[in-house]
Amino acid sequence: MLESTFKYKMAKALPSWIYSEGTNNPYRGGMFDRYLESSTGKIMWVECKCKNQKMPEGATRNLFLNLLSSLQFRWCERLDNHGIPYAIVIRYTDVIAIVDNNDCETAQDMKQLIAYFERRLK
């Protein structure tokens, strides 16, 4: 699946109480792909990646963070420094990896990914 298709499907699957805006702008190097905001005012930045392979066994948070460009990594560090929630979502052929400010987990499908966003933004 193309990254653009995955991002589109993810945005369409979000419930109506989560505002979602794409941030594709070639003049804003490193900015994450999507801005999410709940009706309660909680926010989250999301970066999406697609890998046409199975998730590596024993994958760690550092392996996932290494998929970011240097500008994206600096964006991630700034979010961390300011306590702003983020998620790096990597779609593999077998699973979706989710890396956030503190941890990483997996989702088996889009429904579980959306449930993750709902938990984080309530």
Give the pLDDT confidence of 40-95 residue by residue, as tens digits. Answer: 999 999 999 999 999 998 888 888 988 999 999 999 999 999 999 999 999 999 99
3-state secondary structure of 109: coil
Q: In terms of residue numbers, what domain contains 53?
A: 3-121
Angstrom distances, CA of residue 86 to CA of 47, 52, 63, 77, 109? 8, 23, 17, 10, 19
The pLDDT of residue 29 is above 90: no
How many domains does the chain contain in total?
A: 1
Question: pTM of the full predicted structure?
Answer: 0.91
Torsion of CA 110, 113, 115, 118, to 10 degrees: -120
**CA count, 13 A, side-chain hemisphere, 105:** 13
Radius of gyration of the CA atoms of the chain, in A? 13
Q: Check which CATH number belongs to the domain holding 55 and give it.
A: 3.40.1350.10
The pLDDT of residue 120 is above 80: yes
Where is 52: in which H helix or E strand?
Answer: none
* pLDDT score recorded for residue 88: 95
- At residue 1 the predicted structure's pLDDT band, cuts being 50, 70 and 90, is confident
